[in-house]
Amino acid sequence: MGYRVVVAGATGNVGREMLNILAERQFPVDEIVALASRKSLGTEVSFGDKTLKTKDLDTFDFAGWDIALFAIGSDATKTYAPAAAKAGCLVIDNSSLYRYDPEIPLIVPEVNADAIEGYKNKMIIANPNCSTAQMVVALKPLHDRAKIKRVVVSTYQSVSGAGKDGMDELWDQTKGMYVPGQERAPSKFQKQIAFNVIPQIDVFMEDGSTKEEWKMVVETKKIIDPSIKVTATCVRVPVFVGHSEAVNVETEEFLDEDEARDILREAPGILVVDKREPGGYTTPVECVGDFATFISRIRQDSTVENGLNFWCVSDNLRKGAALNAVQIAELYGQRILKKG
C-alpha cells in the first residue's frame, strides 16, 4: 500500500523535477495528482512513463490525500497550504513562507531528520533554500567532529534558481549577442547575465546583505546549530543548472584535511571528487540530474588556527529543491505514516 500524493506547481522547474524524482526513486504512490494555476490548466507533465494532465489547484480538495509537495511560491502557498494541512494532508513546502517559523520544521534529511516530529505542530514542513541545502549537507559531519565556529561562503548560483524565466533570459541574451536585432535587455535579472556575473540574488536587506545571503545565515542556524556564524556572498552566474559554493570553515578543534576528506566520504548524500590534478574536481554541468552533493578542493586554510576550505556543487533543482522535498516525504512515510 502506498500514498496519495499531490504535486502543486507541477508545470514549473521544481514541480517537474518533483514528479521526475518521485518516479525515479519509486516513491510508493497509490495515486498522484499534478496541480497548477488556472493559466497552466490542462498542461501535460510527465510522471515516469505516464503523462498527467494538470488539475486546478484553486478548486482541489486535499481531504484524503497524504502528502502535498508545494512548489508554488510564497503568495499562493499562503492561500493553499493551510487548507491542505487542515484537511490532514502534510504539506512539504519549497517556498520561504514557513522556513523561519519556529513551529515549523526546516529539514534536510541527512542533517536533522529527527525534526520530522515537529510535523504535528502545523502539518507543514519547510524545505530550505537551495544554496543552504547543499552547504549544510557538507557542514554537518564536519560540525559533529570539530564544531564549526564560523563559515564564510561565496556562491555561484545558476539561473534555474530564478525559474524558467531566468533560464530563458540567459538563453535569449546569449543568442542575442550574436544575432543583430535579437538583443535582450535584462528583465528577470538586475544586469546582463550572459557572459557576466551578478552579485545580487533576491532583494537587499537593511544591513547591505541580500535576502539570499540572509537565508543562508538563518537557515544554517536553524538546521544545524544556532551557534554557527555564517557570512555569505551570493552571486548569479551564467550557468543553467547547478549551484557552486566556495566554503571556508573555522572549527573549534583542529581537523586535518585528510580526516575531513574521509569524514565527508562517509557522510550521507555526499560524493567526494578531490584529486589534486587538472580537472580533479566537480563542476556544475557534471552534477546535473544527480542526487549527490559533490565536494572537491578540500584543503587546510593555514591563515587561521583551525580552518578548512572546500568546493561544493549540487543540482539546485534536485538537492536544493525537489530531491530534498521528496526525501522529506520518504522520511514522513517511513517514520510517521508507516504504510505498507
Decide the pairing of beta strands 55-56 and 29-36. Answer: parallel
Which span sits near ligand 2RA by CB under 6 A: 77-85, 157-165, 280-288, 297-305? 157-165
| Min dist. Cβ of residue 130 to ligand 2RA (A) | 4
Q: Note whether 131 binds ligand 2RA by CB under 6 A.
A: yes
Of the pair 86, 191, the CB lying nearest ligand 2RA is at: 191
* Catalytic residue, candidates 89, 143, 243, 287: 243
Q: Is 161 assigned to a binding site?
A: yes
Active-site entry in 130, 234, 287, 312: 130
Cα 81 to the center of its chain, rounded Å: 19
CA distances from 213 to 132, 157, 203, 240 (A): 9, 12, 10, 20
Using CB under 6 A, which residues numbered 200 to 259 contact ligand 2RA?
201, 212
Across-strand partners of 231? 152
Grid coordinates belonging to 328: 522529506
Stretch that binds ligand 2RA, among 43-51, 58-66, 124-132, 170-178 (CB under 6 A): 124-132
Residues 23-82 that bind ligand 2RA (CB under 6 A): none
Active site includes 143?
no
Q: Does 129 bind ligand 2RA (CB under 6 A)?
A: yes
Nearer residue to ligand 2RA within complex by CB, 157 or 296 = 157
Nearer to ligand 2RA, 5 or 167 (CB): 167
Does residue 89 have an active-site annotation?
A: no
Instruction: Write out the three cell numbers for 110.
Output: 541527512
CB 16 within 8 A of CB 318: no
Q: Shortest CA distance to 293 belongs to which of 321, 312, 275?
A: 312
The residue (of 32 and 194) whose beta carbon lies closer to ligand 2RA is: 194
Which grid coordinates are listed for 183?
Answer: 538583443
**Which residues on neighbouring strands pair with residue 31, listed in sequence order?**
4
DSSP strands (E only) in the chain: 3-8, 29-36, 44-47, 50-53, 55-56, 67-70, 90-93, 124-126, 148-157, 229-236, 243-251, 270-272, 293-300, 307-314
Binder of ligand 2RA out of 11, 54, 157, 296 (CB under 6 A): 157
Q: Which is nearer to ligand 2RA, 81 or 130 (CB)?
A: 130
Catalytically annotated residues:
130, 243
Binding residues for ligand 2RA, rule: CB under 6 A, are: 129-131, 157, 161-162, 201, 212
